Amino acid sequence: MTIRTRSPIPPSASSSAETHYSSSEKNDSRDEYAQTGPNRVLAYWVRTPAFGSAIQQCDNQPHFNAAIPQPKFEYVSALRLDVPEIRLLCLLPRDPSATRVGQSPVRCELRHVLLSDNPVFLALSYVWGSQQVTKRITVNDGYMDVTVNPAHALQHLQLQSATLALWVDAICINQGSTGEKNCQASLVLGWLGPAADDSDEAMSILDWLGKETMIRVRNNGANPKHEAILPDLLSKHHWPHEKVHQAVRSVGALFKREWWTRVWILQEVELAKDVLMICGELGIPLDVLRMGFEAVNDFAVRTRDGRPLADMAKAIRRDVSSGPPRILGSTSPKALHVPARSDGLAFWISRSNNLAATNLKDYVYALLALAGDVDELGICVDYNKSVVEIFTDVATRLLEKQQALFILSWCQRWPDILTTQYEPCGLPSWVPDFSFPIPSGALFGSWNATRWLYSATGTTHTRCTASRQMQLSISDGVLKIDGAEFDTVQCAGPRPSQRGPESGKKFDATARVKEAIELVAGHRARYSTSGAFHDAVWRTVIADAEFDFVAPKRATPRLQAGYEAMSARWKPPGPPVPSEELRALRSRLMEPYCLAISCYCTDRRIFITTGGYLGIGPRTLEEGDTVCILFGAPAPFLVRKVACSDSYQLIGECYLHGIMDGEFFDTDPPGMEFSIR
């Protein structure tokens, strides 16, 4: 559960990393906090101003008789949509006869308040869960059936003799009123769930590591080496081998919980003043949790085979997902000194890649409160619109108002695998399905790149004239954009098998290189010399790009060395037999090259054109597809002619060796308008 508070937080109770790091005093109350923990919500956090400000003492507890039948709760009065009005949930004290958390029935009251009056409350963030499995709670004088997750959260938050002011969207918003949802979707602020899978152990470890990081930062005045914190503490406390591996599994299970996969997490964490993560009865401030995760993750990333504790680092890389928690490292503008809403909608769409939403419309609407260009784009929350209308509207605004051609690289489709389940029916081929993961290793480059990786239109060369600049228009779902035809797909290698870890198949980088060699071997006219042949092969399967965690760059000689090491392993055995040291060296050289192949060649199909150019493109490409260069786009695209029509379907971006730096425009090709449906 994430708890957001609308009241100011004194430094002594702040969970902000900025607050902890900025003070030079070493003996204040924050040191006391750093020595505590892990902290139980109802024993510790209720006494802090951050949490306690939303608590009101209740001397005369209302009598409740569960045997009396209750009517179903109805929203008697609607919210006033012309003023900033919300409903607050007052969580009543638990039944005095309850002997443990979760035993008491949930009873609460709803009241209307104005945000302009600065009411104090905590906002709950949670996974909605299945609507088919519910628990009954009491609201005012009636009953309401809510999904299991918020019901569990409310049970864990009940106090002994006081009420707690909360905002829970499933209860405080009339879900049957589109008007209320439209006005309040941006206010949605959740819980990790009950204790399970040794989650108390995981929370304790992360709390322990986070506080140790905080103390080292305070004492040293600079960021510590995160990778050293975990082994230092393990050495200090003499943990046995089995306990260490059990701890790794428990942390991994904690980060596999559904809460980390929700698209709403971005808004809830980014806009929060203070965030308290709760699992079961334990609570950790978000920034402490983030520092604890960084200590675990940095140790795993930087500790490789042959070094002390390498087996534990390998277990962490295997069991602890770095994806969802990585969100924590780039949120919290207060800790990072970044103003909220400083990034645009396209940035947040790219950041929400691989997250989940029950309602596909929330892949856009859950991000609007974060985007700084919403007013410029003119996008408003309207749940009456269909998913196709919303996605098409967003793509249209980004293209027309920001010339954001990079979104076309997000449009690759996998119809034979996932389309029927995920892709909204009727989406134009040039509109990304924002509910679907953005293709890894997009050739167009980063959404905010100041310099593209390629320049197929020759934008960085004198060969690109003003007549080759981007020109587009959109009408009736058709994108009209200027470009030039280059070539046609003549033949292609096998289509990659089912994508992702669920396929159960390990990616084979060597097999992809051999595919490219076989294709080029049958069409040697373009790459006639040995040097040109091998240059085309090793560069094409990695899109002539070097994988980098910060930003991709064009391939360097170290990747060529990886290709040569791979090729050397295919040579027939003979004297002299390679030594063990030489084989180990080849493996080390191949590692970064294979990583680049997996980044840029997974889910892509290798092909060759009628002109003999070797390339990689979307897995759905077919023989006869047209390679075109859209003016203003750094990478070529594949399009397919629509039967009995002059229009095209966008298949996706591609890499074609020999034209990625504007060489095609040396021939001054004629331009044309592509109508893409």
Dihedral sign (CA 506, 509, 510, 515): positive
- Rounded-to-integer distance, Cα 269 and Cα 509, Å: 38
Phi, psi angle pair for 620, to nearest 5°: -90, 5
Per-residue model confidence as pLDDT tens digits over 353-390: 778 888 899 999 989 988 889 999 999 999 999 999 99
Compare 307 and 517 and report the one with higher pLDDT.
517
* % the chain with pLDDT above 90: 31
- Rounded-to-integer distance, Cα 144 and Cα 136, Å: 6
Out of 228-242, 400-414, 440-454, which region has the weakest mean confidence (pLDDT)? 440-454
Query: Is the pLDDT score of 8 beyond 50?
Result: no
Per the CB < 8 A criterion, the answer to whether 172 and 110 are in contact is yes
pLDDT band for position 506 (50/70/90)? low
Tokens at residue 575, please? 């004297």
Out of 157-161, 316-320, 417-421, 615-619, which region has the weakest mean confidence (pLDDT)? 417-421
pLDDT band for position 230 (50/70/90)? confident
Please report, in angstroms and rounded to a whole number, the separation of the first and last CA atoms in the chain. Answer: 43
Q: Show Cβ contacts of residue 311 under 8 Å, excluding neighbours closer than 6 positions.
A: none
CA 227 to chain centre: 24
Per-residue model confidence as pLDDT tens digits over 120-135: 888 888 887 777 888 9
- Rounded-to-integer distance, Cα 4 and Cα 409, Å: 36
Dihedral sign (CA 114, 119, 125, 129): negative
- Give CA separation, 599 vs 432, 480, 548, in Å: 20, 31, 10
In this predicted structure, what is the pLDDT of residue 304? 65
Out of 194-203, 207-216, 433-442, which region has the weakest mean confidence (pLDDT)? 433-442
In this predicted structure, what is the pLDDT of residue 305? 61
In this predicted structure, what is the pLDDT of residue 638? 97
- Rounded-to-integer distance, Cα 569 and Cα 578, Å: 10
Rg, Å, the chain Cα set = 28
In this predicted structure, what is the pLDDT of residue 99? 72
- Could you tell me which residues are beta bridge partners of residue 142? 139
- Rounded-to-integer distance, Cα 162 and Cα 15, Å: 24
Q: Give the number of other Cβ atoms within 10 Å of residue 414's Cβ.
A: 20
Average pLDDT over residues 295-311: 74
Rounded to the nearest 10 degrees, the angle between the axes of helix 530-540 and helix 557-570 is 110
* Complete DSSP assignment for 12-62: GG---HHHHHH---SSSHHHHHHT--SEETTTTGGGSHHHHTTEEE-SSPP
In this predicted structure, what is the pLDDT of residue 243? 80
Tokens at residue 264, please? 């709403």
Would you give the DSSP letter of residue 640? Answer: E
Q: Rounded mean pLDDT of the chain?
A: 79
Q: Give the number of other Cβ atoms within 10 Å of residue 420's Cβ.
A: 9
Average pLDDT over residues 610-620: 94
pLDDT band for position 400 (50/70/90)? very high
Average pLDDT over residues 634-645: 93
Name which of 273, 267, 233, 220 is nearest 367 in CA terms. 267
Query: Is the pLDDT score of 310 beyond 50?
Result: yes
Phi, psi angle pair for 62, to nearest 5°: -60, 140
Compare 59 and 134 and report the one with higher pLDDT.
134
In this predicted structure, what is the pLDDT of residue 121? 83
b/e per residue 604-629 (b: at least 16 CB within 10 A): bbbbbbebbbbbbbbbbbeeebbbbb
In this predicted structure, what is the pLDDT of residue 321? 72
Per the CB < 8 A criterion, the answer to whether 105 and 127 are in contact is no
Average pLDDT over residues 321-341: 51
Out of 311-315, 519-523, 594-598, which region has the weakest mean confidence (pLDDT)? 311-315
- Rounded-to-integer distance, Cα 376 and Cα 388, Å: 21
CA 676 to chain centre: 29
Query: Is the pLDDT score of 423 beyond 70?
Result: no
Q: What is the pTM of this model?
A: 0.76
In this predicted structure, what is the pLDDT of residue 519? 92
In this predicted structure, what is the pLDDT of residue 385? 93
In this predicted structure, what is the pLDDT of residue 489? 97
- Rounded-to-integer distance, Cα 147 and Cα 305, Å: 46
Average pLDDT over residues 607-620: 95
* Apex 525 CA angle, 523 and 527, nearest 5: 90
- Give CA separation, 101 vs 30, 51, 135, in Å: 29, 18, 16
In this predicted structure, what is the pLDDT of residue 564? 94
Beta strand pairing call for 672-676 and 162-167: unpaired
- Rounded-to-integer distance, Cα 150 and Cα 264, Å: 15
Compare 315 and 432 and report the one with higher pLDDT.
432
Tokens at residue 366, please? 């859950």
Average pLDDT over residues 53-80: 73
* % the chain with pLDDT above 70: 75
Average pLDDT over residues 636-648: 94
Per-residue model confidence as pLDDT tens digits over 244-262: 888 888 999 998 888 888 8
In this predicted structure, what is the pLDDT of residue 10? 25
- Rounded-to-integer distance, Cα 55 and Cα 309, Å: 46
In this predicted structure, what is the pLDDT of residue 419? 40
- Rounded-to-integer distance, Cα 163 and Cα 93, Å: 6
pLDDT band for position 498 (50/70/90)? low
Query: Is the pLDDT score of 416 beyond 50?
Result: no
